[in-house]
């Protein structure tokens, strides 16, 4: 039994609810009366409610995000109907803006908009004292960051063994990219460095080895980012894995020198390119130096850093030709992964100001993806969605490291070549997901054979890259030398 239960649905089991851990760590004396309950998207709403009721809580707080809002809405309505005495609090990005068109929120007794550590604690204190919070909608200003308790002791030993550990050294973003909610931030706030590093050391001492930083611009303040990198480098371990979101045009010489000292496979940098079209960048208030960006990506490729680069399709005014040119330009820079996203109109994001001028039509349900613009038809965006899913299956998975370049050479440009394969695959299979590795390998051989290239040995080497030793019947009977089995998806990209 717990008086307070914090609950959410993560996209996958291996993810952890970082926001709920931040809330629990800041409950003060109420922390011992609280509990976390996490589920993933495969759960049935009735099962969540049943589990919640076994705790006999007086307050339930839900973390609401674009990936779980539909299920959370059903859970909240069901819980309010069955147990009206339980005080329901909802918070998170999905309820921090545009509440009027979310009728399900009427079942919540309190709605916290913004960073909720202090606001949620206050609401819980009032409810447990038998009082009614004076305001149903609480707009919470960002609290002084030095007043927040760090959440890292909330990670359990099971989390450390099986799940992603999210950490943050800062909050906020100085840029104003209109597709992102961080465009609403007023400034970047850094957590006090020494307490943060002490918390990281405690996680390391407990066995943590994989850290995913959620900072939007980790390399913004170079003195802070270099100090953190030096801390992890000083651990002298070759089993660390560190993920950072980096500003792609900001890698001065001192940062390059530090990055080059890390063992291969330790660093993964996520860099948001989004578009190579200067006019589109200016239109969405995005500032980036493309020449420096390209030079930095070449350096990172040479330094064996795993680079995850993002492009967005459907930005206002960008057509298929300019998006394809941007994709080809990015392919030439050889990042480890290219994540092709479809523009989403997140609640509260300034991108909505372009809706009328550029004929932006968005889906009304999560994840609110753009359906068509005056520069991209519905059919073109559907093709780009299939392209993105197929690219993830073939190139980003790391399962076809040698086969992917063969595919990209089968056309006048990489985009044209992979578009041809995507269209062929969809016409043949009627889908771009749910394909087994074996089936995908067979389809790649069939497609490449049909374009004058015997790819059986290449596909076989890729198929056996992960430690598989069998030779499927559609491939050659000559077995290549055995290769080591890598545990990480990132490691499969190594040749």
Query: Does one domain contain both 137 and 23?
Result: yes
User: 């990132």: which residue's tokens?
Assistant: 490
Residue 266 sits in a domain of what CATH number?
3.80.30.20
CA distances (Å), origin 170, targets 21, 144, 167, 345, 458: 16, 12, 9, 25, 44
User: What is the token pair recorded at 114?
Assistant: 């913004």
Instruction: Determine, yes or no, domain membership for 393.
Output: no
Instruction: Determine, yes or no, domain membership for 384.
Output: no
**How far is 125 from 130, CA to CA, in rounded Å?**
9
Among 451, 433, 450, 444, residue whose Cα is nearest residue 474: 444
Task: Look at residues 341, 371, 389 and tell me which one is the last residue of a structural domain.
Answer: 341
Instruction: Determine, yes or no, domain membership for 394.
Output: no
**How far is 221 from 414, CA to CA, in rounded Å?**
36
Query: Does one domain contain both 266 and 412?
Result: no
Counting DSSP H helices and E strands in the chain, the numbers are 16, 16
SS (H, E, C) 185-244: CCCCEECCHHHHHHHHHHHHHCCCCEEEECCCCCCCCHHHHHHHHHHHHCCCCCCCEEEE
**How far is 47 from 75, CA to CA, in rounded Å?**
9
Query: Does one domain contain both 306 and 443?
Result: no
**Torsion angles phi and psi, residue 110, rounded to 5:** -145, 140
Instruction: Determine, yes or no, domain membership for 274.
Output: yes
Domain hosting residue 270, numbered range: 165-341
Query: Does one domain contain both 142 and 176?
Result: no
Give every CB contact of residue 479 below 8 A, 6+ residues apart in sequence.
464, 469, 471
Task: Look at residues 316, 341, 366 and tell me which one is the last residue of a structural domain.
Answer: 341
**In this predicted model, what pLDDT tens digit does every residue of 265-275 receive, in sequence order?**
999 999 999 99
Query: Does one domain contain both 118 and 175?
Result: no
Instruction: Determine, yes or no, domain membership for 16.
Output: yes
Instruction: Determine, yes or no, domain membership for 157.
Output: no
pLDDT computed for residue 259 by the predictor: 96
Tens-digit pLDDT string for the chain (495 aa): 899 999 999 999 999 999 999 999 999 999 999 999 999 999 999 999 999 999 999 999 999 999 999 999 999 999 999 999 999 999 999 999 999 889 999 999 999 999 999 999 999 999 999 999 999 999 998 999 999 999 999 999 999 999 999 999 999 998 889 999 888 887 899 999 999 999 999 999 999 999 999 999 999 999 999 999 999 999 998 899 999 999 999 999 999 999 999 999 999 999 999 999 999 999 999 999 999 999 999 999 999 999 999 999 999 999 999 999 999 999 999 999 999 999 999 999 999 999 999 999 999 999 999 999 999 999 999 999 999 999 999 999 999 999 999 999 988 999 999 999 999 999 999 999 889 999 999 999 999 988 777 889 999 999 998 788 888 888 864 544 333 333 445 555 554
**How far is 395 from 400, CA to CA, in rounded Å?**
6
Query: Does one domain contain both 461 and 328?
Result: no
**How far is 229 from 211, CA to CA, in rounded Å?**
12
Contact 94, 347 (CB under 8 A): yes
- 97 Rama class: left (phi>0) / alpha (psi -120 to 50) / beta: beta
Instruction: Determine, yes or no, domain membership for 380.
Output: no
Query: Does one domain contain both 116 and 186?
Result: no
**How far is 316 from 355, CA to CA, in rounded Å?**
8
**Rg of the chain's alpha carbons, rounded to an integer?**
24
Query: Does one domain contain both 229 and 330?
Result: yes
User: What is the token pair recorded at 299?
Assistant: 């350096």
Residues composing the chain: 495
Contact 2, 35 (CB under 8 A): yes
Residue 72 sits in a domain of what CATH number?
3.40.50.280
User: What is the token pair recorded at 340?
Assistant: 């092709």
Contact 410, 451 (CB under 8 A): yes
User: What is the token pair recorded at 20?
Assistant: 């709920």
Buried b (16+ CB within 10 A) or exposed e, 69-82: bbbbbbbbbbbbee
**How far is 128 from 144, CA to CA, in rounded Å?**
26
Cβ burial of 181 (10 Å; 0-12, 13-18, 19+) is middle
Cβ burial of 450 (10 Å; 0-12, 13-18, 19+) is exposed
User: What is the token pair recorded at 105?
Assistant: 């929120």
Query: Does one domain contain both 122 and 172?
Result: no
Contact 263, 242 (CB under 8 A): no
Query: Does one domain contain both 175 and 133?
Result: no
Torsion angle, CA of 199/202/206/208, rounded to 10 degrees? 40
Instruction: Determine, yes or no, domain membership for 355.
Output: no
**How far is 55 from 67, CA to CA, in rounded Å?**
25
Give every CB contact of residue 131 below 8 A, 6+ residues apart in sequence.
none
Structural domains in the chain (count): 3
User: What is the token pair recorded at 51?
Assistant: 């589990």
CA distances (Å), origin 209, targets 152, 164, 219, 242, 269: 14, 10, 21, 8, 16
Its sign, for the CA torsion 39, 44, 47, 49, is: positive
Query: Does one domain contain both 200 and 328?
Result: yes
Task: Look at residues 146, 175, 191 and tell me which one is the last residue of a structural domain.
Answer: 146
- pTM of the shown model: 0.91
Query: Does one domain contain both 96 and 189?
Result: no
């Amino acid at each position: 039994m717990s008086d307070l239960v914090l609950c959410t649905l993560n996209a996958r089991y291996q993810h952890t609810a970082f926001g709920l851990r931040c809330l629990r760590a800041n409950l003060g004396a109420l922390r011992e009366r609280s509990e976390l309950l996490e589920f993933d998207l495969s759960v049935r709403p009735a099962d969540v409610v049943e589990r919640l009721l076994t705790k006999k809580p007086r307050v339930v707080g839900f973390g609401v995000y674009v990936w779980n809002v539909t299920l959370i809405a059903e859970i909240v309505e069901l819980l309010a109907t069955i147990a009206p005495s339980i005080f329901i609090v909802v918070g998170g990005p999905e309820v921090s803006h545009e509440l009027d068109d979310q009728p399900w929120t009427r079942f919540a007794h309190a709605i916290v908009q913004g960073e909720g550590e202090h606001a949620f604690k206050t609401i819980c204190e009032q409810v447990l004292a038998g009082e009614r919070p004076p305001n149903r909608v609480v707009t919470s200003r960002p609290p002084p960051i030095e007043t927040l308790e760090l959440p890292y002791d909330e990670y359990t030993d099971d989390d450390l063994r099986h799940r992603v550990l999210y950490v943050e050294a800062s909050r906020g973003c100085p840029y104003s990219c209109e597709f992102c909610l961080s465009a609403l931030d007023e400034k970047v706030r850094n957590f006090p460095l020494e307490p943060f590093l002490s918390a990281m050391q405690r996680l390391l001492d407990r066995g943590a080895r994989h850290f995913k930083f959620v900072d939007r611009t980790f390399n913004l303040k170079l003195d802070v980012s270099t100090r953190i990198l030096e801390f992890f480098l000083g651990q002298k371990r070759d089993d660390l894995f560190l993920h950072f979101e980096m500003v792609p045009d900001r890698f001065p010489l001192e940062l390059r020198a530090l990055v080059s000292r890390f063992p291969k496979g330790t660093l993964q940098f996520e860099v948001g390119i989004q578009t190579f079209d200067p006019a589109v960048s200016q239109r969405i208030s995005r500032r980036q130096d493309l020449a420096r960006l390209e030079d930095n990506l070449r350096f990172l490729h040479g330094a064996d850093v795993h680079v995850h680069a993002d492009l967005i399709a459907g930005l206002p005014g960008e057509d298929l030709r300019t998006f394809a040119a941007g994709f080809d330009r990015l392919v030439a820079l050889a990042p480890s992964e290219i994540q092709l996203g479809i523009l989403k109109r997140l609640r509260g994001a300034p991108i909505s100001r372009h809706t009328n001028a550029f004929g932006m039509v968005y889906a009304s349900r999560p994840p609110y993806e753009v359906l068509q613009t005056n520069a991209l038809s519905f059919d073109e965006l559907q093709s780009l969605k299939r392209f993105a899913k197929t690219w993830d299956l073939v190139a980003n998975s790391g399962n076809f490291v040698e086969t992917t370049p063969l595919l990209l050479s089968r056309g006048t440009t990489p985009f044209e070549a992979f578009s041809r394969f995507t269209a062929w695959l969809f016409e043949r299979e009627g889908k771009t997901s749910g394909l087994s590795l074996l089936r995908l390998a067979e389809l790649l051989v069939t497609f490449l054979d049909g374009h004058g290239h015997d790819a059986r040995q290449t596909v076989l080497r890729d198929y056996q890259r992960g430690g598989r030793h069998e030779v499927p019947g559609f491939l050659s009977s000559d077995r290549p030398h055995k290769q080591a089995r890598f545990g990480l998806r990132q490691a499969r990209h190594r040749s």
